[in-house]
Structure 1
Protein backbone atom coordinates (compact mmCIF):
# COMPACT_ATOMS: atom_id res chain seq x y z
CA UNK A 1 0.00 0.00 0.00
CA UNK A 2 1.36 3.42 -0.99
CA UNK A 3 -0.22 6.47 0.72
CA UNK A 4 -1.09 9.34 -1.66
CA UNK A 5 -3.10 11.92 0.29
CA UNK A 6 -4.66 12.26 3.74
CA UNK A 7 -7.20 14.86 4.85
CA UNK A 8 -8.12 15.18 8.56
CA UNK A 9 -10.45 17.40 10.52
CA UNK A 10 -11.81 17.15 14.07
CA UNK A 11 -9.49 14.26 14.96
CA UNK A 12 -7.53 14.49 18.23
CA UNK A 13 -5.28 17.58 18.00
CA UNK A 14 -6.48 18.53 14.49
CA UNK A 15 -9.54 20.78 14.68
CA UNK A 16 -9.35 22.46 11.30
CA UNK A 17 -8.88 20.52 8.09
CA UNK A 18 -5.27 19.44 7.53
CA UNK A 19 -3.85 17.86 4.38
CA UNK A 20 -0.83 15.56 4.16
CA UNK A 21 0.42 15.13 0.58
CA UNK A 22 2.36 11.87 0.70
CA UNK A 23 3.10 11.93 -3.03
CA UNK A 24 5.32 14.98 -2.41
CA UNK A 25 6.83 13.51 0.75
CA UNK A 26 7.68 10.18 -0.88
CA UNK A 27 9.16 11.69 -4.04
CA UNK A 28 12.63 11.42 -2.44
CA UNK A 29 11.98 8.04 -0.83
CA UNK A 30 12.37 8.01 2.94
CA UNK A 31 10.69 10.66 5.09
CA UNK A 32 10.06 11.25 8.78
CA UNK A 33 7.35 12.82 10.95
CA UNK A 34 8.80 14.95 13.74
CA UNK A 35 7.31 17.14 16.44
CA UNK A 36 6.90 17.71 20.14
CA UNK A 37 4.86 15.41 22.38
CA UNK A 38 1.17 15.98 21.71
CA UNK A 39 1.73 17.73 18.40
CA UNK A 40 -0.21 15.08 16.48
CA UNK A 41 2.43 12.74 15.04
CA UNK A 42 0.65 9.56 16.08
CA UNK A 43 -2.70 10.99 14.97
CA UNK A 44 -1.52 10.92 11.35
CA UNK A 45 -0.93 7.16 11.64
CA UNK A 46 -4.15 6.77 13.63
CA UNK A 47 -6.04 8.57 10.87
CA UNK A 48 -4.74 6.13 8.25
CA UNK A 49 -5.73 3.18 10.45
CA UNK A 50 -9.19 4.63 11.12
CA UNK A 51 -9.68 5.39 7.43
CA UNK A 52 -8.74 1.83 6.48
CA UNK A 53 -10.50 -0.12 9.22
CA UNK A 54 -12.79 2.27 11.09
CA UNK A 55 -10.86 1.76 14.32
CA UNK A 56 -7.90 3.29 16.06
CA UNK A 57 -4.95 1.09 17.02
CA UNK A 58 -4.76 2.38 20.59
CA UNK A 59 -7.93 0.74 21.97
CA UNK A 60 -10.03 3.88 22.34
CA UNK A 61 -13.06 5.39 20.63
CA UNK A 62 -12.59 8.85 22.11
CA UNK A 63 -10.59 10.39 19.29
CA UNK A 64 -12.82 13.29 18.24
CA UNK A 65 -11.34 16.64 19.28
CA UNK A 66 -12.97 18.00 22.44
CA UNK A 67 -13.90 21.21 20.58
CA UNK A 68 -15.59 19.30 17.74
CA UNK A 69 -18.77 17.27 17.48
CA UNK A 70 -17.57 15.35 14.45
CA UNK A 71 -14.46 14.19 12.62
CA UNK A 72 -13.79 13.60 8.93
CA UNK A 73 -11.06 11.54 7.27
CA UNK A 74 -10.31 11.14 3.59
CA UNK A 75 -7.49 8.85 2.56
CA UNK A 76 -6.22 8.04 -0.94
CA UNK A 77 -3.81 5.16 -1.50
CA UNK A 78 -2.44 2.90 -4.21
CA UNK A 79 -2.09 -0.88 -4.42
CA UNK A 80 0.04 -2.86 -6.86
CA UNK A 81 3.20 -2.33 -8.91
CA UNK A 82 3.89 0.08 -11.76
CA UNK A 83 2.38 -2.33 -14.28
CA UNK A 84 -0.81 -2.91 -12.30
CA UNK A 85 -1.60 0.09 -10.10
CA UNK A 86 -5.02 0.66 -8.62
CA UNK A 87 -5.92 3.79 -6.67
CA UNK A 88 -8.62 3.95 -4.00
CA UNK A 89 -10.24 6.62 -1.85
CA UNK A 90 -11.84 6.08 1.56
CA UNK A 91 -13.99 8.69 3.26
CA UNK A 92 -15.27 8.24 6.80
CA UNK A 93 -17.27 10.63 8.97
CA UNK A 94 -17.73 10.23 12.73
CA UNK A 95 -20.05 11.91 15.22
CA UNK A 96 -19.58 12.18 18.95
CA UNK A 97 -22.11 10.21 20.99
CA UNK A 98 -23.49 11.38 24.35
CA UNK A 99 -20.90 9.19 26.08
CA UNK A 100 -18.09 10.93 24.17
CA UNK A 101 -17.18 8.04 21.89
CA UNK A 102 -16.96 8.29 18.10
CA UNK A 103 -19.69 6.62 16.06
CA UNK A 104 -19.46 6.07 12.32
CA UNK A 105 -21.99 8.21 10.46
CA UNK A 106 -20.72 7.76 6.90
CA UNK A 107 -18.30 5.47 5.08
CA UNK A 108 -17.63 5.13 1.38
CA UNK A 109 -14.91 3.42 -0.65
CA UNK A 110 -14.32 4.33 -4.30
CA UNK A 111 -11.80 3.38 -6.96
CA UNK A 112 -10.11 6.26 -8.81
CA UNK A 113 -9.53 5.42 -12.47
CA UNK A 114 -6.82 6.68 -14.83
CA UNK A 115 -9.15 9.38 -16.18
CA UNK A 116 -9.82 10.56 -12.58
CA UNK A 117 -13.38 9.29 -12.63
CA UNK A 118 -14.50 7.32 -9.58
CA UNK A 119 -16.66 4.26 -9.13
CA UNK A 120 -18.20 3.28 -5.80
CA UNK A 121 -17.02 -0.09 -4.45
CA UNK A 122 -18.76 -0.10 -1.07
CA UNK A 123 -20.85 2.08 1.23
CA UNK A 124 -21.63 1.83 4.97
CA UNK A 125 -19.11 0.81 7.59
CA UNK A 126 -19.43 -2.99 7.53
CA UNK A 127 -19.29 -3.18 3.72
CA UNK A 128 -16.31 -0.82 3.51
CA UNK A 129 -14.45 -2.71 6.26
CA UNK A 130 -14.89 -6.00 4.39
CA UNK A 131 -13.92 -4.51 1.01
CA UNK A 132 -10.70 -3.07 2.45
CA UNK A 133 -9.64 -6.48 3.78
CA UNK A 134 -10.32 -7.98 0.35
CA UNK A 135 -8.29 -5.26 -1.42
CA UNK A 136 -5.33 -4.99 0.96
CA UNK A 137 -5.31 -8.61 2.11
CA UNK A 138 -4.77 -7.65 5.76
CA UNK A 139 -7.09 -7.52 8.72
CA UNK A 140 -6.99 -4.54 11.10
CA UNK A 141 -4.93 -6.63 13.53
CA UNK A 142 -2.46 -7.58 10.77
CA UNK A 143 -2.19 -3.95 9.69
CA UNK A 144 -1.33 -2.63 13.15
CA UNK A 145 1.16 -5.44 13.75
CA UNK A 146 3.04 -5.22 10.46
CA UNK A 147 2.44 -1.88 8.70
CA UNK A 148 1.58 0.69 11.37
CA UNK A 149 3.34 -0.40 14.54
CA UNK A 150 2.14 1.41 17.70
CA UNK A 151 4.18 1.03 20.86
CA UNK A 152 4.17 -2.56 22.06
CA UNK A 153 2.58 -3.99 18.91
CA UNK A 154 5.81 -5.43 17.49
CA UNK A 155 6.50 -7.33 20.69
CA UNK A 156 2.88 -8.52 20.54
CA UNK A 157 3.58 -9.94 17.08
CA UNK A 158 6.68 -11.75 18.36
CA UNK A 159 4.64 -13.25 21.21
CA UNK A 160 1.87 -14.59 18.97
CA UNK A 161 1.49 -18.36 19.01
CA UNK A 162 2.72 -20.24 15.94
CA UNK A 163 -0.67 -20.72 14.29
CA UNK A 164 -1.70 -17.03 14.57
CA UNK A 165 1.70 -15.80 13.38
CA UNK A 166 1.57 -18.23 10.45
CA UNK A 167 -1.95 -17.09 9.47
CA UNK A 168 -0.89 -13.44 9.62
CA UNK A 169 2.21 -14.01 7.47
CA UNK A 170 0.10 -15.96 4.99
CA UNK A 171 -2.19 -12.94 4.57
CA UNK A 172 0.71 -10.47 4.36
CA UNK A 173 2.52 -12.42 1.63
CA UNK A 174 -0.66 -13.69 -0.06
CA UNK A 175 0.16 -17.34 0.68
CA UNK A 176 -3.26 -18.51 1.87
CA UNK A 177 -3.56 -20.96 -1.03
CA UNK A 178 -0.48 -22.75 0.30
CA UNK A 179 -1.53 -22.47 3.94
CA UNK A 180 -5.05 -22.30 5.30
CA UNK A 181 -6.76 -22.79 1.91
CA UNK A 182 -4.63 -25.84 1.11
CA UNK A 183 -5.19 -27.25 4.60
CA UNK A 184 -8.95 -26.77 4.21
CA UNK A 185 -8.88 -28.40 0.77
CA UNK A 186 -6.98 -31.42 2.11
CA UNK A 187 -9.32 -31.66 5.13
CA UNK A 188 -12.40 -31.68 2.88
CA UNK A 189 -10.81 -34.33 0.67
CA UNK A 190 -9.88 -36.42 3.70
CA UNK A 191 -13.38 -36.11 5.20
CA UNK A 192 -14.88 -37.24 1.89
CA UNK A 193 -12.60 -40.30 1.78
CA UNK A 194 -13.45 -41.13 5.40
CA UNK A 195 -17.15 -41.22 4.46
CA UNK A 196 -16.37 -43.47 1.48
CA UNK A 197 -14.43 -45.83 3.77
CA UNK A 198 -17.29 -45.95 6.30
CA UNK A 199 -19.78 -46.83 3.53
CA UNK A 200 -17.47 -49.57 2.25
CA UNK A 201 -16.86 -50.96 5.73
CA UNK A 202 -20.61 -51.09 6.40
CA UNK A 203 -21.08 -52.94 3.11
CA UNK A 204 -18.40 -55.45 4.10
CA UNK A 205 -20.18 -56.29 7.37
CA UNK A 206 -22.50 -58.66 5.49
CA UNK A 207 -19.41 -60.68 4.60
CA UNK A 208 -18.16 -60.83 8.16
CA UNK A 209 -16.32 -64.14 8.85
CA UNK A 210 -15.41 -64.65 5.19
CA UNK A 211 -11.80 -65.69 4.45
CA UNK A 212 -9.83 -66.56 1.34
CA UNK A 213 -10.05 -70.28 2.24
CA UNK A 214 -13.86 -70.14 2.59
CA UNK A 215 -14.09 -68.21 -0.68
CA UNK A 216 -11.93 -70.79 -2.54
CA UNK A 217 -13.95 -73.70 -1.10
CA UNK A 218 -17.27 -72.07 -1.99
CA UNK A 219 -16.03 -71.24 -5.49
CA UNK A 220 -14.92 -74.85 -5.99
CA UNK A 221 -18.36 -76.14 -4.92
CA UNK A 222 -20.00 -73.61 -7.25
CA UNK A 223 -17.89 -74.89 -10.15
CA UNK A 224 -18.84 -78.50 -9.38
CA UNK A 225 -22.53 -77.62 -9.11
CA UNK A 226 -22.43 -75.73 -12.41
CA UNK A 227 -20.88 -78.79 -14.09
CA UNK A 228 -23.51 -81.07 -12.47
CA UNK A 229 -26.24 -78.69 -13.63
CA UNK A 230 -25.01 -78.91 -17.23
CA UNK A 231 -24.97 -82.75 -17.06
CA UNK A 232 -28.47 -82.92 -15.61
CA UNK A 233 -29.76 -80.52 -18.26
CA UNK A 234 -28.37 -82.77 -21.00
CA UNK A 235 -29.99 -85.81 -19.39
CA UNK A 236 -33.29 -83.90 -19.16
CA UNK A 237 -33.10 -82.98 -22.86
Structure 2
Protein backbone atom coordinates (compact mmCIF):
# COMPACT_ATOMS: atom_id res chain seq x y z
CA UNK A 1 0.00 0.00 0.00
CA UNK A 2 1.26 3.47 -0.88
CA UNK A 3 -0.40 6.84 -0.28
CA UNK A 4 -0.39 8.93 -3.47
CA UNK A 5 -2.21 12.09 -2.34
CA UNK A 6 -4.12 13.52 0.63
CA UNK A 7 -6.84 16.16 0.29
CA UNK A 8 -8.42 17.95 3.26
CA UNK A 9 -11.50 20.20 3.17
CA UNK A 10 -12.47 22.28 6.22
CA UNK A 11 -11.01 20.02 8.90
CA UNK A 12 -9.67 21.47 12.17
CA UNK A 13 -7.11 24.20 11.43
CA UNK A 14 -7.08 23.63 7.65
CA UNK A 15 -9.68 25.93 6.07
CA UNK A 16 -10.81 25.41 2.52
CA UNK A 17 -9.31 22.65 0.39
CA UNK A 18 -5.70 21.56 0.85
CA UNK A 19 -4.01 18.85 -1.24
CA UNK A 20 -0.65 17.17 -0.69
CA UNK A 21 0.44 15.37 -3.86
CA UNK A 22 3.12 12.70 -3.51
CA UNK A 23 3.11 11.79 -7.23
CA UNK A 24 3.92 15.21 -8.66
CA UNK A 25 5.91 18.24 -7.58
CA UNK A 26 8.85 18.33 -5.17
CA UNK A 27 7.58 15.47 -2.99
CA UNK A 28 7.55 13.02 -5.92
CA UNK A 29 11.36 12.78 -5.92
CA UNK A 30 11.83 13.04 -2.14
CA UNK A 31 12.64 9.68 -0.50
CA UNK A 32 11.89 11.16 2.93
CA UNK A 33 10.38 14.41 4.15
CA UNK A 34 9.20 16.06 7.38
CA UNK A 35 5.91 17.75 8.21
CA UNK A 36 6.90 20.91 10.08
CA UNK A 37 5.30 24.17 11.10
CA UNK A 38 4.12 26.16 14.12
CA UNK A 39 1.48 24.90 16.50
CA UNK A 40 -1.96 24.95 14.92
CA UNK A 41 -0.61 24.93 11.34
CA UNK A 42 -2.38 21.65 10.57
CA UNK A 43 0.44 19.09 10.81
CA UNK A 44 -1.54 16.57 12.83
CA UNK A 45 -4.70 17.33 10.84
CA UNK A 46 -3.01 15.92 7.73
CA UNK A 47 -2.36 12.67 9.57
CA UNK A 48 -5.91 12.68 10.93
CA UNK A 49 -7.17 13.07 7.36
CA UNK A 50 -5.31 9.93 6.26
CA UNK A 51 -6.90 7.86 9.03
CA UNK A 52 -10.35 9.38 8.50
CA UNK A 53 -10.35 8.76 4.75
CA UNK A 54 -9.25 5.15 5.16
CA UNK A 55 -10.85 4.07 8.43
CA UNK A 56 -13.36 6.75 9.45
CA UNK A 57 -11.61 7.46 12.74
CA UNK A 58 -8.33 8.82 14.06
CA UNK A 59 -6.19 8.11 17.16
CA UNK A 60 -6.22 11.76 18.24
CA UNK A 61 -9.96 11.62 19.02
CA UNK A 62 -9.51 8.68 21.36
CA UNK A 63 -11.61 5.55 21.70
CA UNK A 64 -14.55 5.04 19.40
CA UNK A 65 -18.01 4.19 20.68
CA UNK A 66 -19.91 1.12 19.53
CA UNK A 67 -21.30 2.78 16.39
CA UNK A 68 -18.63 5.46 16.22
CA UNK A 69 -21.03 8.39 15.97
CA UNK A 70 -22.36 9.31 19.42
CA UNK A 71 -24.90 12.16 19.60
CA UNK A 72 -25.54 13.62 23.04
CA UNK A 73 -29.00 14.52 24.26
CA UNK A 74 -28.42 18.22 23.65
CA UNK A 75 -27.71 17.58 19.98
CA UNK A 76 -24.01 18.31 20.34
CA UNK A 77 -21.58 15.61 19.34
CA UNK A 78 -19.02 14.09 21.68
CA UNK A 79 -15.40 15.21 21.52
CA UNK A 80 -14.54 11.61 20.61
CA UNK A 81 -16.85 11.67 17.59
CA UNK A 82 -14.86 11.95 14.32
CA UNK A 83 -17.31 14.61 13.11
CA UNK A 84 -15.98 16.95 15.79
CA UNK A 85 -12.90 17.53 13.60
CA UNK A 86 -15.00 19.51 11.07
CA UNK A 87 -13.88 23.13 11.22
CA UNK A 88 -16.09 25.45 13.26
CA UNK A 89 -18.32 27.69 11.22
CA UNK A 90 -18.35 25.31 8.25
CA UNK A 91 -21.30 23.32 6.97
CA UNK A 92 -19.23 20.34 5.82
CA UNK A 93 -15.78 18.83 5.87
CA UNK A 94 -14.10 15.83 4.31
CA UNK A 95 -10.85 13.95 3.93
CA UNK A 96 -9.80 12.08 0.80
CA UNK A 97 -6.85 9.78 0.12
CA UNK A 98 -5.71 8.34 -3.22
CA UNK A 99 -3.64 5.23 -2.59
CA UNK A 100 -2.06 2.31 -4.39
CA UNK A 101 -3.57 -0.89 -3.02
CA UNK A 102 -1.73 -4.09 -2.31
CA UNK A 103 -3.07 -5.36 -5.67
CA UNK A 104 -1.17 -2.46 -7.39
CA UNK A 105 -4.46 -0.72 -8.34
CA UNK A 106 -5.17 2.98 -7.55
CA UNK A 107 -8.13 3.71 -5.25
CA UNK A 108 -9.76 6.85 -3.81
CA UNK A 109 -11.28 6.73 -0.32
CA UNK A 110 -13.26 9.60 1.23
CA UNK A 111 -14.74 10.29 4.64
CA UNK A 112 -17.16 13.22 4.83
CA UNK A 113 -19.39 14.85 7.42
CA UNK A 114 -21.93 17.64 6.91
CA UNK A 115 -24.47 19.59 8.82
CA UNK A 116 -28.14 19.84 7.84
CA UNK A 117 -28.55 21.90 4.66
CA UNK A 118 -24.76 22.35 4.82
CA UNK A 119 -25.35 25.27 7.16
CA UNK A 120 -22.91 26.00 9.97
CA UNK A 121 -25.85 26.07 12.44
CA UNK A 122 -27.39 22.80 11.26
CA UNK A 123 -27.25 19.47 13.07
CA UNK A 124 -24.57 17.02 12.07
CA UNK A 125 -25.81 14.28 9.79
CA UNK A 126 -24.41 10.77 9.69
CA UNK A 127 -20.89 10.66 8.34
CA UNK A 128 -20.37 9.04 4.96
CA UNK A 129 -17.59 6.72 3.87
CA UNK A 130 -16.97 5.90 0.20
CA UNK A 131 -14.50 4.09 -2.06
CA UNK A 132 -13.90 4.45 -5.82
CA UNK A 133 -11.46 3.18 -8.41
CA UNK A 134 -9.20 6.22 -8.82
CA UNK A 135 -8.57 5.88 -12.55
CA UNK A 136 -12.12 5.52 -13.90
CA UNK A 137 -14.24 6.54 -10.87
CA UNK A 138 -16.06 3.20 -10.58
CA UNK A 139 -17.94 3.13 -7.22
CA UNK A 140 -16.68 0.36 -4.94
CA UNK A 141 -18.49 1.30 -1.71
CA UNK A 142 -20.53 -1.23 0.20
CA UNK A 143 -24.18 -0.83 1.14
CA UNK A 144 -23.15 0.14 4.67
CA UNK A 145 -20.21 1.96 6.23
CA UNK A 146 -19.10 -1.35 7.74
CA UNK A 147 -18.95 -3.00 4.32
CA UNK A 148 -17.13 -0.01 2.85
CA UNK A 149 -14.59 -0.09 5.68
CA UNK A 150 -14.04 -3.82 5.14
CA UNK A 151 -13.38 -3.24 1.43
CA UNK A 152 -10.91 -0.45 2.16
CA UNK A 153 -9.08 -2.60 4.71
CA UNK A 154 -8.86 -5.36 2.11
CA UNK A 155 -7.33 -2.99 -0.46
CA UNK A 156 -4.94 -1.44 2.07
CA UNK A 157 -4.01 -4.81 3.56
CA UNK A 158 -4.03 -3.48 7.15
CA UNK A 159 -6.70 -3.07 9.78
CA UNK A 160 -7.06 0.22 11.66
CA UNK A 161 -5.13 -1.16 14.64
CA UNK A 162 -2.34 -2.49 12.41
CA UNK A 163 -2.18 0.77 10.45
CA UNK A 164 -1.89 2.94 13.57
CA UNK A 165 0.71 0.62 15.11
CA UNK A 166 3.00 0.49 12.12
CA UNK A 167 2.38 2.98 9.29
CA UNK A 168 0.94 5.96 11.15
CA UNK A 169 1.99 5.99 14.79
CA UNK A 170 0.19 8.52 16.93
CA UNK A 171 2.22 10.69 19.27
CA UNK A 172 3.57 8.55 22.11
CA UNK A 173 2.28 5.33 20.51
CA UNK A 174 5.56 4.11 18.99
CA UNK A 175 6.16 2.09 22.15
CA UNK A 176 2.98 0.13 21.39
CA UNK A 177 4.64 -1.34 18.31
CA UNK A 178 7.80 -2.13 20.24
CA UNK A 179 5.82 -3.76 23.06
CA UNK A 180 3.79 -5.92 20.67
CA UNK A 181 4.62 -9.65 20.71
CA UNK A 182 7.32 -10.76 18.27
CA UNK A 183 4.79 -12.70 16.20
CA UNK A 184 2.52 -9.66 15.91
CA UNK A 185 5.42 -7.41 14.89
CA UNK A 186 6.49 -9.96 12.28
CA UNK A 187 2.94 -10.07 10.92
CA UNK A 188 2.80 -6.26 10.69
CA UNK A 189 6.20 -6.04 9.02
CA UNK A 190 5.16 -8.71 6.53
CA UNK A 191 2.08 -6.74 5.57
CA UNK A 192 3.99 -3.47 5.31
CA UNK A 193 6.80 -4.93 3.20
CA UNK A 194 4.35 -6.32 0.68
CA UNK A 195 3.01 -9.81 1.13
CA UNK A 196 5.68 -12.48 1.36
CA UNK A 197 8.75 -10.25 1.30
CA UNK A 198 9.25 -10.29 5.07
CA UNK A 199 8.60 -14.04 5.13
CA UNK A 200 11.19 -14.61 2.41
CA UNK A 201 13.70 -12.45 4.26
CA UNK A 202 13.05 -14.36 7.47
CA UNK A 203 13.43 -17.73 5.72
CA UNK A 204 16.64 -16.58 4.05
CA UNK A 205 18.01 -15.35 7.38
CA UNK A 206 17.23 -18.68 9.07
CA UNK A 207 18.79 -20.63 6.20
CA UNK A 208 21.93 -18.50 6.34
CA UNK A 209 22.11 -18.93 10.11
CA UNK A 210 21.77 -22.71 9.73
CA UNK A 211 24.51 -22.83 7.09
CA UNK A 212 26.88 -20.79 9.21
CA UNK A 213 26.10 -22.98 12.23
CA UNK A 214 26.94 -26.09 10.19
CA UNK A 215 30.26 -24.54 9.13
CA UNK A 216 31.03 -23.70 12.74
CA UNK A 217 30.22 -27.26 13.82
CA UNK A 218 32.53 -28.66 11.13
CA UNK A 219 35.38 -26.43 12.26
CA UNK A 220 34.83 -27.40 15.87
CA UNK A 221 34.88 -31.10 14.93
CA UNK A 222 38.13 -30.65 13.00
CA UNK A 223 39.60 -28.80 15.94
CA UNK A 224 38.54 -31.57 18.30
CA UNK A 225 40.11 -34.23 16.03
CA UNK A 226 43.42 -32.40 15.81
CA UNK A 227 45.77 -33.72 18.55
CA UNK A 228 48.77 -31.62 19.63
CA UNK A 229 52.29 -32.82 18.71
CA UNK A 230 54.65 -34.32 21.26
CA UNK A 231 57.95 -32.48 21.87
CA UNK A 232 59.81 -35.11 19.84
CA UNK A 233 57.35 -34.88 16.95
CA UNK A 234 57.53 -31.11 17.07
CA UNK A 235 61.34 -31.19 16.98
CA UNK A 236 61.26 -33.56 14.00
CA UNK A 237 58.81 -31.35 12.12
CA UNK A 238 60.96 -28.28 12.82
CA UNK A 239 64.10 -30.10 11.63
CA UNK A 240 62.35 -31.13 8.41
CA UNK A 241 61.16 -27.57 7.95
CA UNK A 242 64.75 -26.30 8.32
CA UNK A 243 65.97 -28.83 5.73
CA UNK A 244 63.20 -27.85 3.37
CA UNK A 245 64.11 -24.19 3.82
CA UNK A 246 67.78 -24.89 3.05
CA UNK A 247 66.80 -26.86 -0.05
CA UNK A 248 64.58 -24.01 -1.11
CA UNK A 249 67.42 -21.49 -0.76
CA UNK A 250 69.78 -23.77 -2.74
CA UNK A 251 67.16 -24.16 -5.46
CA UNK A 252 66.70 -20.39 -5.59
CA UNK A 253 70.51 -19.94 -5.88
CA UNK A 254 70.73 -22.46 -8.74
CA UNK A 255 67.76 -20.84 -10.43
CA UNK A 256 69.49 -17.44 -10.29
CA UNK A 257 72.68 -19.01 -11.77
CA UNK A 258 70.71 -20.62 -14.59
CA UNK A 259 68.92 -17.37 -15.31
CA UNK A 260 72.29 -15.58 -15.61
CA UNK A 261 73.58 -18.34 -17.92
CA UNK A 262 70.46 -18.05 -20.04
CA UNK A 263 70.94 -14.31 -20.40
CA UNK A 264 74.65 -14.88 -21.36
CA UNK A 265 73.74 -17.38 -24.09
CA UNK A 266 71.03 -15.06 -25.37
CA UNK A 267 73.58 -12.24 -25.62
CA UNK A 268 76.09 -14.60 -27.33
CA UNK A 269 73.53 -15.64 -29.92
CA UNK A 270 72.72 -12.00 -30.60
CA UNK A 271 76.41 -11.14 -31.03
CA UNK A 272 76.99 -14.13 -33.35
CA UNK A 273 74.10 -12.95 -35.48
CA UNK A 274 75.59 -9.46 -35.62
CA UNK A 275 79.05 -10.90 -36.57
CA UNK A 276 77.53 -12.97 -39.39
CA UNK A 277 75.66 -9.96 -40.72
CA UNK A 278 78.88 -7.90 -40.56
CA UNK A 279 80.81 -10.59 -42.53
CA UNK A 280 78.15 -10.59 -45.21
CA UNK A 281 78.24 -6.81 -45.39
CA UNK A 282 82.07 -6.88 -45.69
CA UNK A 283 81.94 -9.44 -48.52
CA UNK A 284 79.47 -7.30 -50.43
CA UNK A 285 81.64 -4.22 -49.86
CA UNK A 286 84.78 -6.05 -51.14
CA UNK A 287 82.93 -7.16 -54.27
CA UNK A 288 81.74 -3.65 -54.92
CA UNK A 289 85.28 -2.31 -54.34
CA UNK A 290 86.78 -4.79 -56.83
CA UNK A 291 84.17 -3.89 -59.44
CA UNK A 292 84.82 -0.20 -58.95
CA UNK A 293 88.60 -0.80 -59.24
CA UNK A 294 88.24 -2.49 -62.67
CA UNK A 295 86.02 0.34 -63.85
CA UNK A 296 88.62 2.87 -62.69
CA UNK A 297 91.30 1.10 -64.80
CA UNK A 298 89.11 1.30 -67.88
CA UNK A 299 88.47 4.98 -67.29
CA UNK A 300 92.21 5.63 -66.95
CA UNK A 301 92.87 3.91 -70.29
CA UNK A 302 90.21 6.06 -71.91
CA UNK A 303 91.78 9.19 -70.45
CA UNK A 304 95.23 8.20 -71.78
CA UNK A 305 93.83 7.53 -75.21
CA UNK A 306 92.10 10.88 -75.13
CA UNK A 307 95.43 12.65 -74.88
CA UNK A 308 96.40 11.27 -78.40
CA UNK A 309 93.09 12.09 -80.01
CA UNK A 310 94.55 15.02 -82.07
CA UNK A 311 97.18 12.71 -83.62
CA UNK A 312 94.46 10.35 -84.80
CA UNK A 313 92.46 13.26 -86.10
CA UNK A 314 95.49 14.56 -88.11
CA UNK A 315 96.08 11.07 -89.52
CA UNK A 316 92.46 10.81 -90.60
CA UNK A 317 92.63 14.24 -92.24
CA UNK A 318 95.88 13.39 -94.12
CA UNK A 319 94.40 10.19 -95.42
CA UNK A 320 91.36 12.09 -96.61
CA UNK A 321 93.52 14.64 -98.56
CA UNK A 322 95.58 11.83 -100.10
CA UNK A 323 92.50 10.10 -101.37
CA UNK A 324 91.28 13.38 -102.73
CA UNK A 325 94.48 14.00 -104.82
CA UNK A 326 94.43 10.53 -106.28
CA UNK A 327 90.97 11.04 -107.51
**TM-score scaled to structure 1, two decimals?**
0.61
Q: Comparing both structures, which one devotes a greater share of its residues to strand?
A: 1
Which of 124, 146, 149 aligns to 2:166? It is: 146
Q: Deviations over 1:90-112 (max 9, x none)?
A: 12211359xx9976432211123
**TM-score scaled to structure 2, two decimals?**
0.46
**Structure 1 residue 166: Cα displacement:** 2.6
Question: Unaligned regions of 5+ residues in structure 1, if any?
Answer: 177-237
Residue in structure 2 matched with residue 72 of structure 1 by the alignment: 94
Higher relative contact order (CA 8 A, sep 6+): 1
Which of 129, 133, 137 aligns to 1:111? It is: 133
**Structure 1 residue 15: Cα displacement:** 2.1
Q: Deviations over 1:179-223 (max 9, x none)?
A: xxxxxxxxxxxxxxxxxxxxxxxxxxxxxxxxxxxxxxxxxxxxx
- Is the contact between residue 12 and residue 86 of structure 2 (CA under 8 Å) also seen in structure 1? yes
* Number of residue pairs matched by the alignment: 166
**Structure 1 residue 32: Cα displacement:** 1.8
Question: Unaligned regions of 5+ residues in structure 2, if any?
Answer: 63-79, 117-121, 197-327
Residue in structure 1 matched with residue 30 of structure 2 by the alignment: 28
Q: Deviations over 1:141-167 (max 9, x none)?
A: 11111001111111122233x3xx634
Q: Closer, same or farther in 2 for the Cα pair 1:104/1:31, shift >3 Å?
A: farther
- Please list, as runs of the form range in 1=range in 2, the aligned pairs for 1:131-210 lying within 5 A after superposition: 131-160=151-180, 162=181, 166-167=183-184, 169-174=186-191
- Is the contact between residue 104 and residue 125 of structure 1 (CA under 8 Å) also seen in structure 2? no
Q: Deviations over 1:28-66 (max 9, x none)?
A: 322221110111001101100110100011113221112
Name the stretch that deviates more: 165-174 or 122-131.
165-174
Distance, in Å, in 2 between the alignment partners of 1:119 and 1:30 is 32
- Is the contact between residue 64 and residue 96 of structure 1 (CA under 8 Å) also seen in structure 2? no
SS at match of 1:118: coil
**Structure 1 residue 11: Cα displacement:** 0.7
Distance, in Å, in 2 between the alignment partners of 1:104 and 1:66 is 17
SS at match of 1:121: coil
**Structure 1 residue 76: Cα displacement:** 0.5
Which of 93, 104, 109 aligns to 2:112? It is: 93
Residue in structure 2 matched with residue 39 of structure 1 by the alignment: 41
Residue in structure 2 matched with residue 57 of structure 1 by the alignment: 59
- Is the contact between residue 10 and residue 93 of structure 2 (CA under 8 Å) also seen in structure 1? yes
Distance, in Å, in 2 between the alignment partners of 1:4 and 1:38 is 24
- Is the contact between residue 109 and residue 152 of structure 2 (CA under 8 Å) also seen in structure 1? no
- Is the contact between residue 4 and residue 23 of structure 1 (CA under 8 Å) also seen in structure 2? yes
- Is the contact between residue 133 and residue 139 of structure 2 (CA under 8 Å) also seen in structure 1? yes
Q: Comparing both structures, which one devotes a greater share of its residues to helix?
A: 2
Distance, in Å, in 2 between the alignment partners of 1:102 and 1:93 is 11
